[in-house]
Amino acid sequence: MSGFYLICFDVHHPKRLRKIANEMENFGNRVQRSVFECHLETAQLADLQQRLETLMEPVADQVRYYPLCGKDKQRIIVDGLGQVSADPDFHLV
Amino acid sequence: MSGFYLICFDVHHPKRLRKIANEMENFGNRVQRSVFECHLETAQLADLQQRLETLMEPVADQVRYYPLCGKDKQRIIVDGLGQVSADPDFHLV
């Protein structure tokens, strides 16, 4: 069963930032400049983590993975533009 | 009892961005440029939301509030710089 993850990154070099964002586009939905919402199986999360580790500079950059259970996901609040990513369409099969 | 919240904002005007970030500093720990980790009571969350609503432009900006239960918080992963905000020190009394 897939889990819902919020993934935020702080990358200080434009080229690395672009590469990381492009890779993230394969795994989920961009909701803010450096914030993605993803529905991932455990193996996909591990795969994504490995890919980003090769693209980032660990002493300069940062990627944070926040898992949200179903109950937490129901309590997400969005003020202003946008909404929470829907479940099925963004599930990678 | 306070809850753990991840709060991300996408604000396109530098002046509004500064004001929102400054307000956020009163409520939690900045972990990335536009991402804060906060331990908030329900009333504090409502207060923060109200303050940010007066500072943001709803048709242009966006603030996302992600609640994480204790179990989810244990599963946060940080790659590269930084770690997860500790509980007590950041709890507003």
Q: How does pLDDT run across A45-63, given as a tens digit for each residue?
A: 999 999 999 999 999 999 9
* pLDDT confidence bin for A92, thresholds 50/70/90: low
Cβ-based interface (< 8 Å): residues of B facing A: 6, 8-10, 31-35, 49, 52-53, 56-69, 71-72, 75-82
pLDDT score of A30 more than 70: yes
DSSP H or E segment with residue A36: strand A35-40
* pLDDT confidence bin for B83, thresholds 50/70/90: confident
The CATH class given to the B3-73 domain equals alpha beta
Residue in A closest to B69 by C-alpha: A72
pLDDT digits (tens, 9 = 90+) for B57-76: 999 999 999 999 999 999 99
Residue contact A63–B79, C-beta within 8 A:
yes
* Among the partner residues A53, A67, A71, nearest to B79 by beta-carbon distance: A53
* pLDDT confidence bin for B85, thresholds 50/70/90: confident
A36 contacts on B by Cβ (under 8 Å): none
The pLDDT of residue A12: 86
Least confident piece of the model among A83-92, B16-25, B78-87: A83-92
Least confident piece of the model among A21-25, B27-31, B68-72, B87-91: B87-91
CATH code, A3-69: 3.30.70.240
**Is A10 marked as a binding-site residue?**
yes
Structure-token match 């937490």, residue found: A72
For residues B92 and A12, the model is more confident at A12
Cβ-based interface (< 8 Å): residues of A facing B: 6, 8-10, 31-35, 49, 52-53, 56-69, 71-72, 75-82
* Among the partner residues A6, A32, A62, nearest to B81 by beta-carbon distance: A62
Classify A75 as helix, strand or coil: coil
ipTM for this prediction:
0.87
Gap between the Cα atoms of A28 and A84, Å rounded: 12
Classify B1 as helix, strand or coil: coil
N residues, chain B: 93
Q: Where are the domains of chain A?
A: 3-69
Dmax (CA) of chain B: 37
Helix ranges (DSSP H) in chain A: 14-25, 42-55, 70-74
Q: Other CB atoms closer than 10 Å to residue A59's CB: what's the count?
A: 7
